Structure 1
């Protein structure tokens, strides 16, 4: 009998619902015969054909850690599409895992609310020298002292060998073996929750990668009805789509229920093609809501989407897709052009500080205007969506890694510019996200890297990168994604924390994060209590945010000259106290002995001189003694 999809347990693949017997369920509408083969003994156990293309058997001969393959039509051996473990990599057999055997200690854990989140994006393989979950676990105290309360982990689905971003995998369920596998991932999440840190997992539901892709032997996981930038789309609405939809739905539920992941970030949700009456994202939302009712735990769904369409983050009850939040690239693009990025490629649509001000107010820069890059009217207004539905950043894996030389901000801009960029993100009325190492100005690049098992595929990826950056040929060759050196150069240099100016920058980030947490006017993401004033010729921006009787004023000077902020730019009376000045010698802003001329106490009636490339934060309606600045990270 075909097990039904339920939020209470996983049914696809090999599961252990009773402990003494294993259930085996695989969706394979294409073959006429399906069996499971035990690797150690070569024993072949036929499966019974069920309805809707499923095959099923219950057996006592499979135990946790048993390695196996599926035999299709008596001749083709394939791994399990719902494999949880590939101990020998993508070409080896699958391994049964009993996720229910892990002893969780996070029963009292409550995920922070969206407007409390401060996210830190991590690539497991390059975050530490060892590149494992266990090594990442040793850095949790550092992250807590830094002031973040959520880590976003780039995709961990099994990929070829040990070097990959993770976005072109085939094994949606299997946790990368070189990172430590399923058990170590559970241990990491358990430890994160103990430290008060939420876990966001990056997942890819818009395509499957080419390396080791065996899925077509089972059924039409992909459709040629739509194309994505990475090939055929995942089959969500074509013939036999129901089995594919279940494959994704069970995967979503597994991460939340069996691994205690707090949120999923859905990669390139705009490339999830579905014209069904109920979009797959809506169905995901429905099942996650059922799971939350069952477990009492809160889980978030975050979309990466470049359509500027609030439908993705509009509730189901209002005919939206029901995602909780989304990445907003346009804030990043506006900020980058403001600090000097050339207006080429997708930056061509952004004019700098006026668009940055619009993003502060409206999230989307394009909400119906004509886009020169797209050659069409683009976007819709998101005026009804609160600030906690948008995630902003000055760097992320894409924006760094998709540059020809993988340069981080610390290699592209001055130390003062890096500080004002950090401040711009952290005083915004949106959820902020940092990219690993930016808080100390990591100087190693973050390249695009792979370790494909197929030589022809590796060469194709290499050539694709060369072609992408052909116009920049005068600057040298594009780093070969396949080379181990390309991967090794992307690893963080933790020794920089003890060196200047990295240590000062780290303390600066700590202080900004502490102010954001402790000042309600910054902490509360109410987009209606914000005022933005721009002087384009001066390249200055005044951001005024308030909550109840507390007001925070952020004065930003992006120009390379000192500028005067006139009182007319400020729309609140009263005495202001300076809380942070990025140009102070404390932050190596001017010189080691010079002091910023911005007054410590300001009446709001006289012009304030703002040093070049600097940020000043003033506040009123609070007691300075209540601001607890962190001790430097030891």
Structure 2
């Protein structure tokens, strides 16, 4: 890796800094020789070797005699994003996961969590105590929202400014490694959400170092990352090194790349393809192939096409159409991008192919949207009915149980966990958590706080004209967003937890559901009746799933779709908080799963 720090066996630290802008760079290290003049190479990198400092010592850079600045590739910021960086010796951690083999990707069940709100303490150490709970639930993969150092102590993580550092109050590098090691000990894979489309504003000193940003493109967060302009070689290396940093030093099993549609690159090899190539190289060295998942709202099949076929080489994509179609159908919401959805056929098409929009006209975009995707395997698509974006980017952060009925939530869960795709649960979803997940920050600059408040209000203008979002800077906003797993022990939360547990057990044990097999899957959609029928599996192992998305009972003869089948699971059963149903008649907003009898 070209960026950042490394330590040799004899205790010498190597410092490498991409900074083509300044004429002179000095390095200040505690416990070392004091001020060290760095040497500049023709590639814009400055380098220095310093013997003697111990791990934990602070260091900083001075550009052209100015103020001290943290390392852009810092691994820890114990004094915040404006303070000096800390030397981290990665070889000191006692890993125990040498024999760990990640679960097969086609069997993944992802659980998305935010470290600060997953537990009362908001630390990796506290999160470790809940890993057994996730394993017992049937989760196979934990997806951690961004942990890169951000201003203050409260943030979603997408305002990070030092992508190589682990947020100090979460537990820093040692805490994150302990979390990954503990997850691997329980058979859980770990994926980290990383942000390669922008960096946060506060504490962002990168412009002083080099051409990390460009005004050739614009994002919702300002200037785009410079992946293709003058000086972009060092910038590309910065993010390529970041990917390798997480995969090797933290033993991660994959990365989720945030909002890749805001990554702009006109060079012959797109940065996404280069990232996937670097990940493959890491996999060859480690013997464990990393998984790269891309968040994309453009429905581009090219993201998961192999690099040698002109694609980006990602392994999977967050596929929004399933969420939008289910959400719009159940809530009746039609504001913003939900104007494109609301038809049962769109739910069926997303479940069958991966996306509802595959080149059709989008009223929201006022143009054709998406590419054909029926040829892609089911494991290429990550489905959800809730995630941090779809919940937190609402004015009041309402989760699905606050918007629709208890029965409708169970119906949505059944569609998610039986669809031929990789399911993602958002923390607390499994027991029907009804606390909001709000947007929260802890910026130190008043002007920035005001800008965030104004920006949030403008963002919600199309969705919620009569609601005021809570103050994102208030500590109470984060506190209100914490989940409370003890809810799963009583009332309807217990019934929802039982429903999710049973669905996940069925997905784990039944041959028809263990893998997202689209080939042996057939759908029937009866829009007027609100009935969707899905048959999955090979002959002799098939399941029939009936979904009633209507507020009226739906008549359905299961033998018409799977002769001689028997009821295996019914959301209207009193074990799951239902009031019972009749054979051949599905209650409103219910799901019933039948099994082929052989």
TM-score range, shorter chain: over 0.9
Could you list the per-position Cα deviations for residues 274-329 of structure 1 after superposition, in whole angstroms to 9, with x for gaps in the alignment? 00001111111111111111111121000001111100110112110000000000
Could you list the per-position Cα deviations for residues 556-579 of structure 1 after superposition, in whole angstroms to 9, with x for gaps in the alignment? 111112111145851x43x21211
Q: How does 1:399-438 map to 2 (within 5 A)?
A: 399-438=390-429
Could you list the per-position Cα deviations for residues 209-246 of structure 1 after superposition, in whole angstroms to 9, with x for gaps in the alignment? 11111011100111111111111111100010000000
By how many angstroms is 1:410 displaced? Answer: 1.1
Q: What residue is the counterpart of 1:295 in the other structure?
A: 286
Contact 1:339 1:558 in 2 (8 A): yes
Q: Is 1:613 aligned with 2:598?
A: no
Q: TM-score, normalised by structure 2?
A: 0.98
Q: Is 1:596 aligned with 2:584?
A: no
Q: What residue is the counterpart of 1:353 in the other structure?
A: 344
By how many angstroms is 1:524 displaced? Answer: 2.2
Q: What residue is the counterpart of 1:586 in the other structure?
A: 575
Q: How does 1:13-32 map to 2 (within 5 A)?
A: 13-32=4-23
Contact 1:237 1:276 in 2 (8 A): yes
By how many angstroms is 1:49 displaced? Answer: 0.9
Q: Is 1:143 aligned with 2:139?
A: no
For the residue of structure 2 that corresponds to 1:298, the secondary structure is coil
For the residue of structure 2 that corresponds to 1:84, the secondary structure is coil
Task: State how far apart, in whole Å, the 2-side matches of 1:156 and 1:197 are.
Answer: 19
Could you list the per-position Cα deviations for residues 492-537 of structure 1 after superposition, in whole angstroms to 9, with x for gaps in the alignment? 1233122211111111100000001111111122212111111111
Contact 1:118 1:150 in 2 (8 A): yes
Q: What residue is the counterpart of 1:241 in the other structure?
A: 232
Q: What residue is the counterpart of 1:459 in the other structure?
A: 450
Q: How does 1:339-350 map to 2 (within 5 A)?
A: 339-350=330-341
By how many angstroms is 1:472 displaced? Answer: 7.0
For the residue of structure 1 that corresponds to 2:502, the secondary structure is helix
For the residue of structure 2 that corresponds to 1:174, the secondary structure is strand
Task: State how far apart, in whole Å, the 2-side matches of 1:445 and 1:181 are.
Answer: 27
**Backbone CA RMSD of aligned residues:** 1.5
Task: State how far apart, in whole Å, the 2-side matches of 1:373 and 1:278 are.
Answer: 31
By how many angstroms is 1:469 displaced? Answer: 3.0
Task: State how far apart, in whole Å, the 2-side matches of 1:313 and 1:181 are.
Answer: 33
Task: State how far apart, in whole Å, the 2-side matches of 1:192 and 1:567 are.
Answer: 41
By how many angstroms is 1:11 displaced? Answer: 4.1
Task: State how far apart, in whole Å, the 1-side matches of 2:405 and 2:181 are.
Answer: 39
Contact 2:435 2:481 in 1 (8 A): yes
Q: Is 1:54 aligned with 2:45?
A: yes
Q: Is 1:86 aligned with 2:77?
A: yes
Q: What residue is the counterpart of 2:377 in the other structure?
A: 386
Segment of structure 1 superposing worse, 535-544 or 613-622: 613-622
For the residue of structure 2 that corresponds to 1:522, the secondary structure is coil
Q: Is 1:490 aligned with 2:481?
A: yes
Change (3 A) 1:305 1:334: same
For the residue of structure 2 that corresponds to 1:525, the secondary structure is coil
Task: State how far apart, in whole Å, the 2-side matches of 1:576 and 1:156 are.
Answer: 48
Change (3 A) 1:280 1:35: same
Task: State how far apart, in whole Å, the 2-side matches of 1:406 and 1:340 are.
Answer: 15
For the residue of structure 1 that corresponds to 2:546, the secondary structure is strand
Change (3 A) 1:344 1:521: same
State the number of aligned residues: 598
Q: What residue is the counterpart of 1:227 in the other structure?
A: 218
Q: Is 1:334 aligned with 2:325?
A: yes
By how many angstroms is 1:468 displaced? Answer: 2.7
By how many angstroms is 1:588 displaced? Answer: 1.3
Q: Is 1:510 aligned with 2:501?
A: yes
Contact 1:36 1:70 in 2 (8 A): yes
Could you list the per-position Cα deviations for residues 423-456 of structure 1 after superposition, in whole angstroms to 9, with x for gaps in the alignment? 1100000000000001111121101111111111
Contact 1:39 1:93 in 2 (8 A): no
Q: What residue is the counterpart of 1:195 in the other structure?
A: 186
Contact 2:11 2:52 in 1 (8 A): no
Q: Residue 363 of structure 1: which of 354, 368, 371 is its match? A: 354
Task: State how far apart, in whole Å, the 2-side matches of 1:285 and 1:387 are.
Answer: 20
Contact 1:524 1:547 in 2 (8 A): no
Task: State how far apart, in whole Å, the 2-side matches of 1:426 and 1:185 are.
Answer: 29
Contact 1:585 1:596 in 2 (8 A): no
Contact 1:324 1:389 in 2 (8 A): yes
Q: How does 1:555-566 map to 2 (within 5 A)?
A: 555-566=546-557
Q: Residue 442 of structure 1: which of 416, 426, 433 is its match? A: 433
5+ long unaligned stretches in structure 2: none
Could you list the per-position Cα deviations for residues 553-608 of structure 1 after superposition, in whole angstroms to 9, with x for gaps in the alignment? 001111112111145851x43x2121110001111111xxxx4323xxxxxxxxx1
Change (3 A) 1:148 1:19: farther
Contact 1:370 1:378 in 2 (8 A): yes
5+ long unaligned stretches in structure 1: 1-9, 599-607, 623-634
Task: State how far apart, in whole Å, the 1-side matches of 2:33 and 2:491 are.
Answer: 60
For the residue of structure 1 that corresponds to 2:443, the secondary structure is coil
Task: State how far apart, in whole Å, the 2-side matches of 1:157 and 1:586 are.
Answer: 42
Q: TM-score, normalised by structure 1?
A: 0.92
Contact 1:533 1:569 in 2 (8 A): no
By how many angstroms is 1:471 displaced? Answer: 6.1
Contact 2:297 2:319 in 1 (8 A): yes
Contact 1:111 1:298 in 2 (8 A): no
Task: State how far apart, in whole Å, the 2-side matches of 1:18 and 1:251 are.
Answer: 23
